[in-house]
Amino acid sequence: MAEVSSHDLRTLSLVLQEHLQSVLTHSEPIQIQCVVRQDILMVLGQHSAAMVPDPQQTLQVLEHELRSLQPVFNNGSSQMVRLYLRVLGQPQPYMFHEFTIEPQAAVLSVSDQEMKILTEDFPIPEENALESHLEPLIGISPETESPGDEAGALTYPLEDPLHLAEPVLAQPMVQPDLPPRRRSPLWLIAGGGLGIMGLLGGMYMLTRPCVIGTCEAIQTAQTLNQEAAQQVQQARSEQDVIQARKKLEVALENLAAIPSWSNQRSNAQALSQTYQAEVEVLDRVIAAQKQAMTAAQKSANPPHPLQDWLEIEGLWKAAIAELVQVPKEHPAYALAQRKQVEYSANLAVVQKRIQAERQSQENLKQGRATARVAETLQGIAQNLESWRQVQSTWQIAVASLQKIPQGTAAYSEAQAFLKDYQAQLLKARNHATSEQLAEKAYKQAVKLAGDAKSFEQKGQWSLAVASWREAVNQTQQVPADTFYANEAQPLTQQYTESLTAAEENLRQVALIQKTRVDLSRTCSGPIQICDYTVTANLIKVKLTVAYMRALMRTGITAQSKGDVNAQIRVNEHLQTLQAALEAISENSGIPIEIYSANDSLMGRYIP
């Protein structure tokens, strides 16, 4: 059997470990270690107790990968392989699987991907370390080692390899139906095959970025970082920031391509951390700009409901919160500050909108509630006081709706209600005015009636008539659909009758007054002819003593002298006096009685 170097075994371990991780994608890789004992390739897979891989799948992947490597190494011999799985810290494996690889004719061919896997920087333990890890597996073999074998050979008995109550053995896997061949030295890793692979791997390692010569990848990454910083500082749109971020992504890709064996690896990792932090900051700026764009779009074409404005407010706040976290030393800090001022101004506008919407909704709610109260009061209102309350309630409802500014979501709804409320307010105001006029007219009529009665008692009939006439007029001023209408209606009839009576009394008084004037004129002369009294039922005239004496003296003298003319004049005078008194009686419609100076009835005239 060809000698197998520890380097070849470490390389094989690395290949198997990388392939297993790429297929199973565990959170932590299963550690693979290889050793050769008695021409048997022993492969141990170890993992932590917290990790629970699928044993059957793990062994299948390892077997498949070992079989796929056969065309790379062809020495014309079959190879026995034994696979083990063990938990770190445990002395015994919990699963093992054994199979034989039959050789196939093949041409050496190593792809770039395989070379990359072979040359990845994984810590490989020294040869003695490998043996120490596999030491507990000594004895897990088909037969016991003979005394002449080398130290460290496997000695576990085949029939119970894991020293368990029942052996745990992987299920048989489907293998190509090949004729059996004799067991020969390890073909997979023996000979010069791995030496060639090592040579090719070394050449591949030298071709990776920043292994020899200048490190253009770092220079390019730094240039891209500078360009990104400049683009961010001059950014005027979201696309500028996105383009800068893409440049940083390219820079990170260049740095990631620098292999672990490059002397620039540590520098590249430091730059990667810095650039990744810058990318995360740009992600915040981009996120803020996207949120701002969404907020601006949602704000377009107002008005909007309150809930929409609250959502928009949240977007502006979230955008500002992203910008606040941009550090001062970052190239995007100036942009973040400008945008923060801009977004804060927009946030203030939105918050005013929210306040206006909330106040508008409250005013609308209050206005409608007040209107319902007004409708209730209007249904039971009767007098002036109740209608004034209805009017004031409608005024409050209208005022609440008028406070809702144009540009709010509640404005259009408020306008629809406002038109009806204003009509109701006008109706209530007119009714209150009517009630006020009715109350005033009614009370004035009652007062005038009282005055008229007082004037009547004083015989001031002209004032009484005037008061009654105005009282009737006031009762007629009371509107029919008011509280005082029912009260005023009977008063109108009553006051009209009182007015008629007062007018009759006034006519009588006036007639008596005129009669007295006529009597005064008739009874007056050089000698007072008569005295008189006038009532509504009788005019009583009494000739005076002086007039009677003068009349008798004139008659006696004319008779004694035989003066006929004088006697005729006396008779004509008496006839004229009689006619005048009868005319006064006729004009006044009051009977008249004429008495002598000694109260003797001289005559009576009834018109």
Q: In whole angstroms, what is the distance from residue 160 CA to residue 279 CA? A: 57
- Distances in Å between the alpha carbon of 336 and those of 194, 237, 277, 590? 57, 12, 16, 117
Q: In whole angstroms, what is the distance from residue 492 CA to residue 469 CA? A: 10
What's the whole-number mean pLDDT along residues 379-395? 93
Q: What is the pLDDT of residues 237-251, one digit of tens each?
A: 888 899 999 999 999
Give pLDDT, residue 593: 94
Q: What is the pLDDT of residues 518-530, one digit of tens each?
A: 999 999 988 899 9
Is the pLDDT assigned to residue 94 strictly greater than 60? yes
What's the whole-number mean pLDDT along residues 313-338? 94
Residue 528: count other Cβ atoms within 10 Å of its Cβ: 13
Delimit the domains of the chain by residue range: 6-206, 214-372, 381-511, 524-605
Cβ burial of 50 (10 Å; 0-12, 13-18, 19+) is exposed
Rg from Cα positions in the chain: 67
Q: What is the pLDDT of residues 492-524, one digit of tens each?
A: 999 999 999 999 889 888 888 889 999 999 999
Task: For residue 514, give both structure tokens.
Answer: 């005129």
Give pLDDT, residue 4: 65
Quick one: which H or E segment has residue 426? helix 409-457
Give pLDDT, residue 160: 34
Please name the residues in contact with 47: beta carbons below 8 A apart, sequence gap of 6 or more: 26, 28, 30, 31, 53, 85, 87, 88
Give pLDDT, residue 434: 92
Cβ burial of 212 (10 Å; 0-12, 13-18, 19+) is exposed
Give pLDDT, residue 12: 85
What's the whole-number mean pLDDT along residues 475-485? 90
* Coil/strand/helix, residue 525: coil
Give pLDDT, residue 1: 42
Percent of the chain with pLDDT strictly greater than 70? 80
Taking a C-beta distance cutoff of 8 angstroms, is the pair 47, 66 a contact? no
Q: What is the residue-averaged pLDDT of the chain?
A: 81
Q: What is the pLDDT of residues 348-366, one digit of tens each?
A: 999 999 999 999 999 999 9
* N-term to C-term CA, the chain: 181
Q: What is the pLDDT of residues 279-296, one digit of tens each?
A: 999 999 999 999 999 999
Q: In whole angstroms, what is the distance from residue 87 CA to residue 116 CA? A: 29
Confidence tier at 128 by pLDDT (50, 70, 90): very low
Give pLDDT, residue 212: 62
Give pLDDT, residue 141: 41
Name the residue among 512, 507, 502, 506 with its Cα closest to residue 590: 512
Give pLDDT, residue 406: 92
Confidence tier at 8 by pLDDT (50, 70, 90): confident
Residue 126: count other Cβ atoms within 10 Å of its Cβ: 10
What's the whole-number mean pLDDT along residues 559-577? 85
Read off the DSSP letter of residue 403: T
Q: In whole angstroms, what is the distance from residue 234 CA to residue 217 CA? A: 26
Q: In whole angstroms, what is the distance from residue 113 CA to residue 284 CA? A: 36
Is the pLDDT assigned to residue 418 strictly greater than 90? yes
Cβ burial of 171 (10 Å; 0-12, 13-18, 19+) is exposed
Q: What is the pLDDT of residues 50-88, one digit of tens each?
A: 888 889 999 999 998 888 876 444 456 788 999 999 999
Read off the DSSP letter of residue 4: -
Give pLDDT, residue 410: 92
Q: Where are the alpha helices (DSSP H) in 51-186?
A: 55-68, 112-118, 127-134
* Coil/strand/helix, residue 40: strand
Task: Determine what percent of the chain falls in helix, strand and coil, rounding each to the nearest 5.
Answer: 60, 10, 30
Give pLDDT, residue 76: 61
What's the whole-number mean pLDDT along residues 384-390? 92
Confidence tier at 127 by pLDDT (50, 70, 90): very low
Q: How many CA atoms lie within 13 A of 356 on its CB side?
A: 20
- Distances in Å between the alpha carbon of 523 and those of 2, 488, 515, 555, 606? 186, 51, 12, 20, 20
Give pLDDT, residue 208: 60
Give pLDDT, residue 388: 93
Give pLDDT, residue 556: 86
What's the whole-number mean pLDDT along residues 454-479? 93
- Residue 37 has φ and ψ, to the nearest 5°, of -135, 130
The more confidently predicted of residues 452 and 12 is 452
Q: In whole angstroms, what is the distance from residue 58 CA to residue 69 CA? A: 17
Give pLDDT, residue 510: 86
What's the whole-number mean pLDDT along residues 90-115? 68
Give pLDDT, residue 493: 92
In angstroms, how far is CA 57 from the centroid of its own chain?
56
Give pLDDT, residue 62: 92
Taking a C-beta distance cutoff of 8 angstroms, is the pair 569, 529 a contact? no
Give pLDDT, residue 265: 87
Give pLDDT, residue 72: 42
Strands (E), 56-197: 79-87, 95-101
The more confidently predicted of residues 68 and 148 is 68
Q: What is the pLDDT of residues 260-280, one digit of tens each?
A: 878 888 899 999 999 999 999
Residue 606: count other Cβ atoms within 10 Å of its Cβ: 11
Q: What is the pLDDT of residues 431-446, one digit of tens each?
A: 999 999 999 999 999 9
Q: What is the pLDDT of residues 175-225, one digit of tens each?
A: 333 333 333 444 444 444 444 444 444 444 555 667 666 788 899 999 999
Helix axes 6-24, 193-207, angle to 10 degrees: 60
Please name the residues in contact with 379: beta carbons below 8 A apart, sequence gap of 6 or more: none
What residues does 530 pair with on adjacent strands? 543
Q: In whole angstroms, what is the distance from residue 249 CA to residue 276 CA? A: 8
Letter for the amino acid at 269? Answer: Q
Read off the DSSP letter of residue 481: T
- Residue 394 has φ and ψ, to the nearest 5°, of -65, -35
Q: What is the pLDDT of residues 544-558, one digit of tens each?
A: 999 888 888 888 888
> What is this structure's pTM?
0.49
Name the residue among 457, 452, 451 with its Cα closest to residue 497: 452
Task: For residue 184, give both structure tokens.
Answer: 């020969």
The C-alpha angle 410, 412, 415, rounded to 5 degrees, equals: 105
Is the pLDDT assigned to residue 106 strictly greater than 60? no
Is the pLDDT assigned to residue 380 strictly greater than 80? yes
Taking a C-beta distance cutoff of 8 angstroms, is the pair 363, 396 a contact? no
Give pLDDT, residue 147: 33
Is the pLDDT assigned to residue 111 strictly greater than 60? no
Confidence tier at 11 by pLDDT (50, 70, 90): confident
Pseudo-torsion of CA 349, 354, 358, 363, nearest 10°?
Answer: 30
Is the pLDDT assigned to residue 607 strictly greater than 90? no
Q: In whole angstroms, what is the distance from residue 522 CA to residue 580 CA? A: 7
